[in-house]
Amino acid sequence: MHEYRITQRIIEIAEQQAKQSDSELVTQVTLVVGDNSGLVADSIVLYFDIIAKGSMCESAALIIKRIKPKLKCKKCGVLFERKPFSFSCISDGCDGEGEPTEIGNEFYVESIEVS
């Protein structure tokens, strides 16, 4: 729902960085988006082209690296993806339960390419 404003901010960050490096054009923006960040990658893609019109990012390719959330087993320490309605560890023979980690909450601009 708030992807429009967030996408405006992504373009601002890219433009600021490009200007600081005396570049005229942003050719690529690489974004890291965790599935638990609450932001829908497809919506960002949709808004990016609309908002980037007339900006330094107008012809930039948007690369989104999606990260699946992982729980960490309190017993054996393994990181694993949660199954719906379950927190049970997936390791063979382990009856532990996973707790939330920061993996999957990421939301940052990793890099840009400029020319």
Partner 1 sequence: MSKIAHETRFDKMLLLKGDKMKEDTRKIEIMEAVNARNEEIAAKLNQLLSDKGVFTINVMGAPGAGKTTSLVNMIQRLDRKCFVIEGDIESDIDTKKLHALGIETVQINTGGACHLDSPLIEGSIRSFELEEGYLFIENIGNLVCPAEFAIGEHIKLLISSVTEGSDKPYKYPLAFEKADIILLNKTDLIEHIDFDEDSFLQGVRRLNPCAPVFRVSGKSGIGFKEVSEWIIKKASSCLNR
Residues that bind partner 1 (CB under 8 A): 1-2, 5-6, 9-10, 13, 17-18, 21, 23, 27, 36-38, 84-85, 87, 97-100, 107-115
Instruction: For partner 1, give the closer residue by CB, 78 or 113.
Output: 113
Cβ at position 50, least distance to partner 1 in Å:
17
Collect all residues with Cβ–Cβ distance below 8 Å to 62 and sequence separation of at least 6: 28, 29, 31, 44, 45, 48
Measured between alpha carbons, how far is 55 from 102 in angstroms, rounded to an integer? 33
Cβ at position 106, least distance to partner 1 in Å:
9
Measured between alpha carbons, how far is 68 from 63 in angstroms, rounded to an integer? 16
